[in-house]
Structure formats: structure tokens, C-alpha cells
Structure 1
């Protein structure tokens, strides 16, 4: 049984983190730096939310709030993005940089996970209410707010990683069944390099740049799946 067999088996029905650790060995033995970087990021978490692949966000989410009004009145509510400045769109979106194991835990959390607004953001939103920029009940304001994420969102992320790892292992196995084994093929073989590059681009999604070097200037967009 090869490492690729193990990846395929665990991607289908098994421990996702164990699957990625096996895939790390495959990537290391292939010498596939971009694939290795993806696996490490999924295992350890991404450095910043701006570096995450598109399947990790940003996602538009519901913002649940606790609002207060005259004479101490209180009520639950939801907040709208309508009227808010475009550069504050992140208040109504979430991206996930946490390790995949954390995503799996969130997926079984029952009611899901909430990300509270910073008090500064609440103050800004109340200012927009007072300025009449956002629609709101007259005389009321926001006391607290949080972005709510359902367990299904996290399960979707885990499923994407599983599926893409499975596709990668199956594609490699079809042409290079010894990939990932000791003394197996590496990316020094042009055919292996092409296969790994294609797979890595599919994993990360849409590509906005394909060249490297300080003398290169490009304007290009390649859609995910557009291998031609």
C-alpha cells in the first residue's frame, strides 16, 4: 500500500489531518514546494486572512445584534450592510485562517460559531445610524453585534480540502503511481512538475498571476478549472 493509497482512503472517509500529514510526505518527496506550502498551511493555519484560498472566504454572514432603545428597551435584531462604507464590508464577512482541525471542530459545534464585533466597529455603526446613513429604528442603537457562522460553512471547507486532496492523489496515482514513495519521481521530471503545478493551481482556485521576477509585468486572469 502506497502513501497515495493512504491519502485516497483517508480523504474518502478518515481523519482529515492525518490525510494531510501523509500528503505532506508525498509533497516533500516530490520536491513540490507549492503543494507542501498548501498542506502546511491547512495543518497549521494561514498566516493572515488575506492569504487564504478562495474556498476559505470571504463569506457573507448574518450579523446578529442586541439593540437598545428609549426607556431601557432591548431587543434582538440583525444588522444590514446597506448604507455602510464599502471599505467596512469586512464587518459583514468572515474568512478563516485557522488549521483544518479547528474547522472540523467548529463543524460539530451545534449552533455554530460567532465572531463579535470590536467595540470600535459598534461605535462606528451607531455613528452611521445617527447620520442617517443606515436604515434603523429611530431612537435605537446597537449595544453588541456578532457575525454568526453556521456549522455547515465549516463542514463545507473541510469537504473541499478532502475532495481536492483526493483529486490530487488520484491524478498523481494515475500517471505516477510511485509518487511519494522513497526514490520515487520528483518535480525534476518535467511531466511531474506539470502535473503538480496544474493540481496546485486547481487547489488554490483562480490565478491572477503566472510569472515571477522583478522585470515581469502582467495583466492576466485565469479562471479556476480553465486548464487550456
Structure 2
């Protein structure tokens, strides 16, 4: 018996330890994630390691949070009007918030560690500082009325959903690792596996698909990466992904509508005639620097977007 075994360490693989813990009714996600970080280091996947680090320590302001960590915010306000009349604790429609403030107010990015999220899930009421909205909404929601206060709240259920999202994604990750990278199931505290470039790439691909969702990374000639997160058949998600990639909104919307009208038939011909004509017409705008996306990556990004929209990738 080796020294670790003598001290009570299990010889079961780290991957299977994670699965056993996740299937327990009282799964401790912080401990599960620490084990996953160890496994990620053995498998050589830096993106997976980084994600686990942010989940266990929290997301800093310069790092964008995964989609499942963006939650809705509800607002209520109090107004005073003519002749001493009052409107108290009235719901404010999200459309009004987005119109007179911005969409960022109706969604909140949860940056706390998973341990912090678990504590927030136990709260009865979660509030955010909405005092800046008083000036932005003044005279807009109820013309002629004075906005005295605005409060924003997040449902604790949203925190529970984040916990469940992390738990289910980690389980799916381990299942896919076991299928596609069999050697991952052999990793123990005392038994690492040889790191191979092919395995590292597969692990990262599995991470992108199971943890972040339907995500693709396109690399430009200068090494910069463009990330595409597109839901099959969802024009809105394709437009949003293309805008994030650097296309103007109008151009992204136009291309998305073209692809929706003539979806790719196969991987060999991912773009239809109208889409190809659109690229030929608009490519010079990217080449001139008028768009934020470079000409060297434009076609690749649009092709990937079309395939993901059509479910070919």
C-alpha cells in the first residue's frame, strides 16, 4: 500500500470521484470543482482550468461570465404626483427600464464564487443598488410625476438555477470525457496520464460544448480568437454572435436573415449563393477597416456561424 493509500486517499479515479459526488443529494460543489481543477491540470486544458478557477474564486470584472450566470432583475418604484397623490411600490416594466436606461439594467451578471452563489440561494430577498435609475426614469415612466425611489430585486431561484447549471454541466463534461478521452477516467492522485496535443484539444472542445454551450472559437492569422455562441435555428443568437465578432448590427442582421432563408445543405457547401454574394459585396468593408472584424477571418466566421445556425456543427 502506498503512502497516500495509507493516509486514507482513495484509489478511485478523480473523474469517478467527481461523478459520485455530483450524484449525491448534498453535493458540495466547491469540493467537486477543486477535484475538477486537478483533473483539468492533468489533462492539460487551460480553458477548463480557468473556468474552474473563476467558479471557485469568482469572476473578476475584466472576465465575462458564462451565459448561465446572467440573471433577470425586477424593479419597483415609488412616485409622487399632483395634489399629493402617490404611486407606491409599483412594478416597472422591463421595456421601460431598457428604453430609458439600458438593457444592462434588466440583466445582472453574477460574479460571486460558487460558494457565494450557494449562500445567496438561501436568501429570501436579493437586492441590487438601483439608485442611479431614479434620474434615468425621472419624468419618463409616469410623465409629470416625480420618481422618489427605485428598488431592484433578483429571485433566489436564479441562484439555485446557477448551482444546478454548474452541477449538470460538470456531470455532462465528465460523461463526455469518459467517452471521448478514455484515459481521463484513469487519472488518480498518484497516476497522471501523458499529455498529448490531440487529447488536450479534445478536452477543450468538450469543455466548450458542455460548459459554455454551443460555442466555437475561430482563430485569426494574428492569433486572436473570435468566439461564436449560436443556438441552432435562432436568428437572434446568430445576429448577436456576429455583432460580438465585429460586424455592424445591420450587417449581422442582414446576413443572418439570408442564412435563415437559404440554410446550408451540407458541410461541403455551407454557404448558399446569396450568402456568398453578400460576402463578396461586403468583404471590402472589413478589409478597409470600416468593420471591427478583419477581412482575413470574415469568411471563416460567417461560415462557422451559418453551420452552427443550421445544426451542421
Same fold (TM over 0.5): yes
TM-score between both structures, scaled by the size of structure 2: 0.61
Q: 2:94 aligns to what SS in structure 1? A: coil
Match of 1:62? Answer: 74
Query: Hey, what's the Cα distance between the residues in 2 that align with 1:49 and 1:142?
Result: 33
Q: Which has the larger radius of gyration?
A: 2
Q: 1:75 aligns to what SS in structure 2? A: strand
Query: Hey, what's the Cα distance between the residues in 2 that align with 1:147 and 1:49?
Result: 24
The answer on whether the counterparts of 2:129 and 2:152 sit within 8 Å (CA) in structure 1 is: yes
The answer on whether the counterparts of 2:72 and 2:154 sit within 8 Å (CA) in structure 1 is: no
**Aligned: 1:125 with 2:111:** no
Count matched residues: 216
Match of 1:76? Answer: 89
Structure 1: which 4+ aligned runs deviate by more than 6 Å?
Answer: none
**Aligned: 1:196 with 2:196:** no
| Structure 1 position 86, deviation (Å) | 7.6
**Aligned: 1:144 with 2:135:** no
Query: Hey, what's the Cα distance between the residues in 2 that align with 1:87 and 1:125?
Result: 7
Alignment of structure 1 residues 91-130 onto 2, 5 Å: 91-109=105-123, 111-119=124-132, 121-127=133-139, 129=140
Q: Deviations over 1:170-217 (max 9, x none)?
A: 222342221365443354251x22431222112112435322541652
| Structure 1 position 9, deviation (Å) | 1.8
Query: Hey, what's the Cα distance between the residues in 2 that align with 1:223 and 1:64?
Result: 39
Query: Hey, what's the Cα distance between the residues in 2 that align with 1:87 and 1:75?
Result: 21
Q: Which runs of 5+ in 2 are unaligned?
A: 1-11, 224-295
Q: 151, 161, 166: which one pairs with 1:161? A: 166
| Structure 1 position 141, deviation (Å) | 2.8
Distance 1:28 1:180, change over 3 A: farther
Alpha-carbon RMSD? 2.7
Match of 2:297? Answer: 217
Query: Hey, what's the Cα distance between the residues in 2 that align with 1:18 and 1:197?
Result: 22
Q: 2:95 aligns to what SS in structure 1? A: coil
Match of 1:46? Answer: 59
**Aligned: 1:9 with 2:20:** yes
| Structure 1 position 122, deviation (Å) | 1.4
